[in-house]
Amino acid sequence: MPVDVLIGLQWGDEGKGKIVDVLAPTYDVVARFQGGPNAGHTLTFDGLKHVLHQVPSGIFHPHIINVVGNGVVLDPVVFRQELQKLTDRGVEWRKNLHVSKKAQLILPSHRALDRLNEEARGNTKIGSTLKGIGPTYTDKVSRVGLRVGHLLLPDFETRYQETVARHHQQAAFYASQQVLAPEAAEAAWHEEVTAKEADFFSAVEFLRTLQLTDTEYLLNDLLAQGKRVLAEGAQGSLLDIDFGTYPYVTSSSTIAAGACTGLGIAPRHLAKVYGITKAYCTRVGGGPFPTELLDETGEQIRQAGREFGSTTGRPRRCGWIDLPALRYAIMLNGVTELHLMKADVLDSFAEIQVCTHYRLSDGTLTLQLPDPGDLAHVVPVLQTLPGWHTDLTQLTEYNTLPANLLAYLGFLERELQVPIRIVSVGPDRVSTIVLS
């Protein structure tokens, strides 16, 4: 049986959680393969909005096994809060949730280092969510990280203290280099680490009561039994550590291939790749964004789309859809079908613009994404299409979609050479139009 992968094609916040929720009934397993509490997957149904950060988005379906894979970085404190919220809402999650023993633990000192790293970058801040993602993946790759499985060892606390001592040395380095005032470094350290330690250890105690599993065996056993797996990506392809707009990226492999290493599934199991994109484009944090609109139109998209971060509350940068960037993401992921989100946000626009090419600084046109440094200097070449001026939120059937929206979809399909299978016209599960 196959593993299908669902990934974001832009800079995250495409609406992946909603689509996982919509597709979930046809799967037996939903598995997160990378990222951590930097993600915010929003699901809306039965009049309630749920925001998940680390828990896979299949958790609301009692028949689904949810897996937090080895590629994830897990903050026990945030995880416990999320699960407590689910309990408060009557969701039975305990039997259906497995956490990989190989997932990495985010410690309070990782969060503190994240903040210090950002402060030290001065004018070139990444715009990190400050959840400790970068420092935790750094420790993983440096082979000094703490894994979930380490919680089960008798010397966990000693390992913890050694790790924190190492992090403190790194913090002291910033102070010694006068990158930061010593008091600022020390204050941030105290706030993030010492004051949060008791909470961390009580969350660790809670984590020990969950199903901590060799999830690569679990997933491969389930596949052998003929179960269907949906791998749920977080962030977006343009935030990928290798192919994103480096260094303004996150620290994990956000593309479909990341599902193999982040879950322990062989590439031959992969089948469909669902590519999720908004009908326009957003990004949070720093870094190049060729189609960004710094004018009233951008503000209009932000307000209509409620484009404020679900993890940090930050206003998102908004712009027109970017086809060179989408083509790149489609190529990297091997996307087999597209899902177009938030089409209703453009309902009131008389005209909609689409970036078809970039003009480079030497005047040449390109369909390709240049190096991140050059991407900051390209000029988007825009094509204008007529708006549809229809309240899409009231529509549920493909054959009721307005002609100008169908023309927009047809244009995107021709340019991107991938079929659009779903158009989302509102946050609720029911506001989802499936194109045959």
CB of 53 to ligand IMP, least distance (A): 9
What does the H/E/C string look like for 323-350? HHHHHHHHHHHCCCEEEEECHHHHCCCC
Q: Is residue 75 classed as helix, strand or coil in its secondary structure?
A: coil
What backbone torsions phi and psi does residue 233 show, to the nearest 5 degrees? -80, 160
Least Å distance, CB 61 to ligand IMP, is 22
151 binds ligand IMP (CB under 6 A): no
With beta carbons less than 8 A apart as the criterion, state whether 135 and 75 touch: no
* Least gap, CB of 289 to ligand IMP (angstroms): 11
Q: Least distance in Å: CB of 414 to ligand IMP?
A: 29
**Is 13 in the active site?**
yes
Total residues contacting ligand IMP by CB under 6 A comes to 21
C-beta closer to ligand IMP: residue 310 or 383: 310
> Which among 212, 256, 266 has a CA at the least distance from the CA of 234?
256
Q: Tell me which of 54, 129, 136, 253 binds ligand IMP, using CB under 6 A.
A: 129
User: Catalytic pick from 4, 13, 240, 322?
Assistant: 13
> Is residue 13 at the binding interface for ligand IMP, with CB under 6 A as the rule?
yes
Closest CA to 423 of 354, 347, 318, 309: 347
Among residues 4, 21, 41, 240, which one is catalytic?
Answer: 41
* Contact predicate 45/21, CB 8 Å: yes
Alpha-carbon torsion 328, 332, 338, 340, what sign? negative
Q: Which of residues 232-291 bind ligand IMP (CB under 6 A)?
A: 234-235, 239, 248, 250-251, 284-285
Query: Under the criterion CB under 6 A, does residue 318 sit at the interface with ligand IMP?
Result: no
If one asks whether residue 12 binds ligand IMP (CB under 6 A), the answer comes out as: yes
CB closer to ligand IMP out of 219 and 234:
234
Question: Distance of CA 40 to CAs 43, 60, 156, 184, 329, Å?
Answer: 10, 16, 29, 29, 21
Q: CA dihedral in degrees (11, 14, 18, 21; nearest 10)? A: -50
- Binding of ligand IMP at residue 322 (CB under 6 A)? no
Return the residue of 3, 19, 20, 126 that touches ligand IMP, per CB under 6 A: 126
Report in angstroms how near the CB of residue 287 gets to ligand IMP at its nearest. Answer: 6
Element containing residue 302 per DSSP (H, E): helix 296-304
139 tagged catalytic: no
From the DSSP assignment, how many helices (H) and strands (E) are in the chain? 13, 20
- Residues forming contacts to ligand IMP in the complex (CB under 6 A) are 11-13, 38-40, 126-129, 131, 133-134, 234-235, 239, 248, 250-251, 284-285
Active site residues: 13, 41
